[in-house]
Amino acid sequence: MPCGGVFDLEGKKAEIARFEEESARPEIWNDPQAAKKVLQQLANLREQVSTWDRLSQDVTDARELLEMALELDDEAIVAELTTEAAALEKRYAELEFQLALSGRYDRSGAILSIHAGVGGTEAQDWAQMLLRMYLRWAERHGYSIEITNQLDGEEAGIKTVTVEVEGLWVYGYLKAERGVHRLVRISPFDASARRHTSFALVEALPMLDEDIEIEIRPEDIKMDVFRAGSAGGQHMQKNSTAVRLTHIPTGVIATCQNERSQLQNRESAMKVLRGKLFDIELQKREEEQARLKGKHVEAGWGNQIRSYVLQPYQMVKDLRTDVETGNPTAVLNGEIDDFIAAWLKEQVGSGG
């Protein structure tokens, strides 16, 4: 068990020394916010290194005891140490998995968006099924949920929906769900009971703190207001409280209509806009890194990540990790942790 090999223990210790030197400078307290960030990073690094150091020491102690037990031919101690070794392996696997959640914003909440693909009612119903799946998943983990924008389909389902999910590690987990999700089933909307294939796009953005440096100049924002209501125009509000923000330089749009006031909707839309602009910058960096590595990067609707087959057989398969299950009912009820964990572990192994 190569303790610290994947973790780069020496590299982390070098970072600790650098942050300790930085935190010792008196002038750092001229900017309390910057000082707070440095101390937080230092505390996180110390905790990580301490955890790996403890595990490494426990492994060393167990190995030494095992060598002694083998020399003494003590079967009872050997059996006890075998059990302890299994526990250490489990601790190592858990710590290795946590490395996949070491991104700067992985501890943050997330803004989850689902968009129905082409296909009308069939695709819109699939988007609503995915929404239900993620709401169930969030409830299982005790996360708080708020739907900030939803556009219903004409007959059934939803065209698009945006949900704020708050809790620890939410973005770290949900970033694994970004991409196109494909459904194959007998359509409940087809009188001939034919098999249909539907697509929906899932986006996940970090819920950024106010101090995250995403510059949005007021003059670059165009705000439109309109009356919130259902897709069919029913239950229309008398006042124009819904807000649509357009970032003029990029064309990025964020909409919110589920809050009571125009001000609340603008704040929620601004939160989504900041997350989208951050994600654009993040994707640019990832694509540049992939280009330098010589890796082909696919974007947009070609980036299909998972297939959900209900007919002619039952299976859900993640196309990135090959993890699959024959129980799509459980998956659509929110049991998606195995898919998330497999993708995150793969990112650690590939250095992604």
b/e code 10-39 from CB counts within 10 Å (16+ = b): eebeebbeebeeeeeeeeeeeeeeebeebe
Q: Are 278 and 212 in contact (CB under 8 A)?
A: yes
- Mean pLDDT computed over 11-23: 81
Give me the residue spans of the domains in the chain: 9-101, 110-350
What superfamily would CATH give domain 9-101?
Release factor (1.20.58.410)
Phi and psi, residue 68, nearest 5°: -65, -45
Q: Which residue has the higher pLDDT, 83 or 199?
A: 199
Round the average pLDDT of the chain to a whole number and report it.
80
pLDDT at 302 > cutoff 70: no
Give the CATH architecture of domain 110-350.
Answer: 2-Layer Sandwich (3.30)
Q: Which residue has the higher pLDDT, 137 or 214?
A: 137
Instruction: Compute and round to an integer the Cα radius of gyration of the chain.
Output: 25
Rounded to two decimals, the pTM is: 0.63
Phi and psi, residue 100, nearest 5°: -70, -15
pLDDT at 289 > cutoff 50: no
For the chain, the straight-line distance linking the first and the last C-alpha, in angstroms and rounded, comes to: 22
Same fold across 9-101 and 110-350: no
